[in-house]
Amino acid sequence: MSLRKKTLSGMVWTFGQQFSVQLIGFFVSVILARILSPSEFGLIGMMSIFIALGRSLMDSGLTSSIIRTPDADQRDYSTVFIINLVASVIIYFLIYFSAPFIAIFYKQEILTDLIRVYSFLFIFQAFMSVQNAVLTKELKFKALMIIQIPSVLIGGVVGVVLAYLGFGVWSLVYMYLCQGFLSSLQHWFYSDWRPKLVFDRARFKYHFNFGYKITLAGLLESIYQNLYTIIIGKYFSAAQLGYYSRAFSLRQLPISNISAVIGKVTYPMLSSISQDNEKLRGYYRKLMQQVVFWIAPLMILSIVLAEPLFRFLLTEKWLPAVPYFQIMCITGIIYPLQSYNYNIIKVKGRTDLTLKIQMVKKAYCVIGIICAVPFGIYGLLIFQLLAAIVDYNIDCYFSAKLIDYPIIKQLRHILPSVSIAVVVGMVSYAFDQFLLQEMKASDFIRLLGVSGLFATMYLSISYLIKLAALIEFKETFIKKA
């Protein structure tokens, strides 16, 4: 099978996995949000830094090194497996003994036990990290889809049942643990690879030299992304952190379904052509156009429909999260552009540069966050938006040097999609404000009517002006189907 066909097949299966998982998770979160209080979600938000650290461990730089190594064998896999497992145990005990101090910091005594139990997830993730890398490297995304769906579904059922039984915030902790355990178990079932007691120092040195910079950069990014929850949890109420966390997770739904799918599938593909700058630049341009073509309208539409969306799905008690969500959606348009430019630097093997970039960006962002705190949560959200714009420019500057794709060319290729989405969003907003609300339409009718108008106008205009992203999508997917 050609590289193009493998990529398309992988994208279909990965989108199926991502969409199914996110859809199940979305319905579970809606049910839980109706049962639990914002303050209980806020407690989980206070632990988000540890959730992020666990994910960074699972997607560590060592496993990224395996994916990009063309001749990886048992020595590579077993060496990385042992390192990941040992690291997870060390991190677990560090967090275990740190838990009481974290609880004191937030003035939430219950966090001690919550953190100690939840942190078992690190070990589950370490057990499956190499299997996940092997399946990804072999583009076996169908197997990854089969693994994820039952894990999320069964875990979600456990969480909902426990919430109904009155377990409160613990229902969320046990839900995540159940999902992690089942996912780890199935990775061992669907992957043929098994670890052996083999530790090759040369292989460790090779992967460590590539991966430790990515791991450190990823940890810096995780810590930075969760600085907002740390600050909000410390200086504001648990309920306000719950609003912030719920707005963020809802904003991430379309981004995870589109941006993450394309990024996961294309990383091994782009790595395989990393030495051919012309081909790499061509694939990357199409990647950027596709991501923005779908994410920009979804974010703009989400801004327009934020109020009826929150009231319809989560009830009136979550309406304070609406303005948080709207600001985050603007940031959501920029985030994929930043992350994909950053991925180009990784694909080219410049992990030394990725670490330096992350250190510089996080240094000025920490200062900015401290300065924004006196302005409240809205000050933090506005700074988050400004920081995303600056980060995009920095990542683009360095990626442009590697593949000769500067920011001016990138903007020229993606601005048409954003411009159409903004114009259609303004028309849709006027339709909602001056017609549907005047008619006192229900939230469901508003959601249905505005979404239908937006989608029809956006796709029609894109078709009439022969937008490159839509043409590429038709040629790649519709004709193939």
The secondary structure element, H or E, covering residue 198 is: none
Angle at 286 between CA 145 and CA 474, to 5 degrees: 75
pLDDT of 127 above 50: yes
Write down the pLDDT at residue 256. 65
> At 115, which amino acid appears?
I
Write down the pLDDT at residue 86. 87
102's CB contacts (< 8 A; 6+ apart) are: 46, 111, 112, 115
d(CA 115, CA 45): 12
Q: Highest-confidence range of 19-23, 110-114, 133-137, by mean pLDDT?
A: 110-114
How is 237-269 classified by DSSP, letter by letter? -HHHHHHHHHHHHHHHHHHIIIIIHHHHHHHHH
**Of the candidates 145, 171, 149, which has an alpha carbon nearest to the alpha carbon of residue 31?**
171
The secondary structure element, H or E, covering residue 479 is: none
Mean pLDDT of 285-292: 83
d(CA 267, CA 184): 22
pLDDT of 218 above 60: yes
Tokens of 99: 């838990």
First to last CA, the chain: 17
Write down the pLDDT at residue 307. 95
**Percentage of the chain with pLDDT > 70?**
87
pLDDT of 343 above 90: no
Mean pLDDT of 337-351: 72
Mean pLDDT of 130-145: 77
How is 13-73 classified by DSSP, letter by letter? HHHHHHHHHHHHHHHHHHHHHHHS-HHHHHHHHHTHHHHHHHHHHHT-HHHHHHHH-TT--
Mean pLDDT of 131-141: 77
What is the total residue count of the chain?
481
Write down the pLDDT at residue 305. 95
Q: Specify the higher pLDDT residue, 182 or 13.
A: 182
Tokens of 27: 């319905």
Tokens of 33: 């949000």
**Least trusted range by pLDDT, from 112-121, 282-291, 383-392:** 282-291
Angle at 219 between CA 200 and CA 377, to 5 degrees: 170
Phi and psi of 350, rounded to 5°? -90, 60
Mean pLDDT of 398-411: 82
Angle at 64 between CA 62 and CA 66, to 5 degrees: 75
**Least trusted range by pLDDT, from 14-23, 226-235, 273-282, 385-394:** 14-23
d(CA 238, CA 39): 5
Q: Highest-confidence range of 15-29, 71-85, 277-291, by mean pLDDT?
A: 71-85
Residue spans of alpha helices (H) in 274-406: 277-304, 306-314, 322-347, 351-372, 376-403
Mean pLDDT of 315-323: 92
pLDDT of 285 above 70: yes
Residue 99, CB-side half-sphere exposure with 13 Å CA sphere: 18
Confidence at 311, pLDDT banded by 50, 70, 90:
very high
**Percentage of the chain with pLDDT > 90?**
25
Mean pLDDT of 82-103: 87
pLDDT of 424 above 90: yes
CA quadruple 35, 38, 44, 49: dihedral positive or negative?
A: positive
Write down the pLDDT at residue 436. 92
Q: Specify the higher pLDDT residue, 400 or 175.
A: 175
d(CA 306, CA 381): 16
